[in-house]
Amino acid sequence: MARRESAFPRSHALYHIHNHQVNGLYCITSQNNHNLISKFHIYTRSIILAMAGIVQEYKIPLNQPDDCDNSKYAAEVKNEIIKNGIVRPTGYNVSFHINPMVEKHHFGRSHPMKPWRLTLAKGLIMAYGMHAAMDTFASRRATQEELEEFHTHEYLEYLKTAKVGLPDEDDNKPYNLGSYDCPVFDGLFNYCSIYSGASIDAARKLCNEESDIAINWSGGLHHAKKSEASGFCYVNDIVLAILQMLRRYPRVLYIDIDVHHGDGVEEAFWSSGRVMTVSFHKYDPINFFPGTGGLDETGPKSEINPGAHHAVNVPLNDGIDDDQYLRVFKQVISKCNEKFRPSAIVLQCGADSLAGDRIGTFNVLVQGHGACVEYIKTLNLPLMLVGGGGYTPRNVARAWTNETSIAIGAKLHEELPLHTPYRSHFRDQSLYPDLTELLAAKGQTGAKRNHNTEKKINDIVSSIHEQLRFVEHAPSVQSQQIPPDLTAWKQEVDDKIREEREEEESFRLQKEEGLGVLREYGVKTVIPELLDVAFFDGIESHGKTQLPWPWQQVGRHKFGDCKTVTLFKIY
């Protein structure tokens, strides 16, 4: 097996399993149904990673059953591929980003978040043979530099060194770590780096046009803030992925169908006109986390802030069913697409909006959840699918398996394959359980009453359509392809910009000294169309402007009246 150096640093290199390479990265894929037995056997036993310069064989964790590791299993998968008519999509590529090492992490015995749900989902996806229709990448860990694209250095350093077993009685929990929602557990930073790395890699595949639909079911942790863990989320992989995409795409539409409000992503891009966030969630400001996402939370109040009207929230009540959910989803998204005209889409597919979820309160079925993905696919834009919530593992696996099939355009048989790993965990062994079966997982005998009246749904849609009237099409933004080694490229650009600014500052100081005028360090004037001046009230600068993310000083301009105006740019 030939080995070739990757464009990534050695510790990040991916090596190809067979004869398919993309722009210096190597993927594991089956181009057709021929030789599937040997290719799948290679996939399950020999995902090769470069680690510290040594090529090592990857071994499946969690003591996966022997039936998944022999020629009989591979033959059964081949038959399943033929049975379901699974082929590679025509006219577009789907990439599947996984790192099975994320599955072994454990939040705690009583904690609702179970990374093991990813084992069930991956096993079911592979059992149907859908890997034959996708380019499958063993994703790398994100570097700390990449995580610092959004998160603060201090927060990440604490995340790396946090100790397991912080006492519950200790009220001092820095960065909200050690709380019940966000416990400290073994391998915490490693866990965050793995799922974030998968989302970053997925975004880069889209940017480089190596993929049209990129999937990372381990991602979607939408509550994490810049320097705070929140709601089972420690690092916001979605924000990191969107930041990558903004280097290539002028406008990104973020859609969230988790039962919880996508507050972390909304907050990160609150003042951005290049990202529109749309969240469909249960809203109860007192009794349901995070208590945000009301209909009136539409972005900054100042009309000259570019983020005004770019936060779209769809607050729902308990018990909404497939018909209502899909209707409001289509009516809202179609108008957002019309007004915002996105260049790419990120869809967070949190499965806690399914009926029978341990935490969720909706009556949405696997089919209804998947119909949202199917509708987004029809928009024919670069699409990234990420996971999110979901606290009944077997239903999470069902939903994400169904949505993977939608991504590749396959129609799956309802009965789960007999060779599915852990098949006994699925009770009725059906991919599409009815409402009764879903609710049984939660110990319910009947559906939760639907508290969403038709009037309420119509009022929500009308209000959002009115909000979107004020959204102006974002201006064209220059973009460029993302090179494989983004870190080195970014450092080179940053160094060049810094040198140019130092030269400009040196020239300005010399000129002011010659004129005998005061040096102007504290100017707080900005380009009016970018930002409300009041946003920077109180910010004093002595030599260097310190601005909150995502604003950055990009230069100064002198007008005829000799006033120096500081120019700012949003990233």
Closest to 219 in 3D by CA, of 243, 205, 235: 235
How many C-beta atoms surround the C-beta of residue 157 within 10 A? 12
Distance CA 104, CA 344 (A): 32
Distances (CA, A) of 106 to 112, 114, 254: 10, 7, 29
Closest to 180 in 3D by CA, of 262, 289, 101: 289
User: Which pairs from 336-340 meet CB under 8 Å and 24+ separation?
Assistant: 336/253, 336/276, 336/278, 336/312, 336/468, 337/253, 337/379, 339/468, 339/469, 339/471, 339/473, 340/251, 340/253, 340/276, 340/310, 340/468, 340/471, 340/473, 340/474
Tokens of 316: 């729902």
What crossing angle do the helices spanning 71-84 and 36-45 adopt, rounded to 10°? Answer: 120
Closest to 367 in 3D by CA, of 410, 322, 329, 407: 322
DSSP state of 90: S
Q: Out of 12, 16, 151, 223, pick the active-site residue.
A: 223
Distance CA 142, CA 178 (A): 23
Catalytic residue status for 223: yes
Direct distance between the N- and C-terminal alpha carbons of the chain, in angstroms, rounded to an integer: 43
Mind spelling out the 3-state secondary structure of 316-381?
ECCCCEHHHHHHHHHHHHHHHHHHHCCCEEEEECCHHHECCCCCCCCEECHHHHHHHHHHHHCCCC
Helix (H) or strand (E) holding 386: strand 383-386
Q: Give Cβ neighbours of residue 534 (< 8 Å, ≥ 6 apart).
A: 302
Q: Give Cβ neighbours of residue 297 (< 8 Å, ≥ 6 apart).
A: 266, 311, 313
Percent of residues in the chain assigned helix, strand, coil, to nearest 5: 35, 15, 50
DSSP state of 389: -
Distance CA 46, CA 126 (A): 15
Contact 383, 344 (CB under 8 A): yes
What size, in residues, is the chain? 571
494, HSE (Cβ side, Cα atoms, 13 Å): 7
Distance CA 436, CA 428 (A): 11
Known catalytic residues?
223
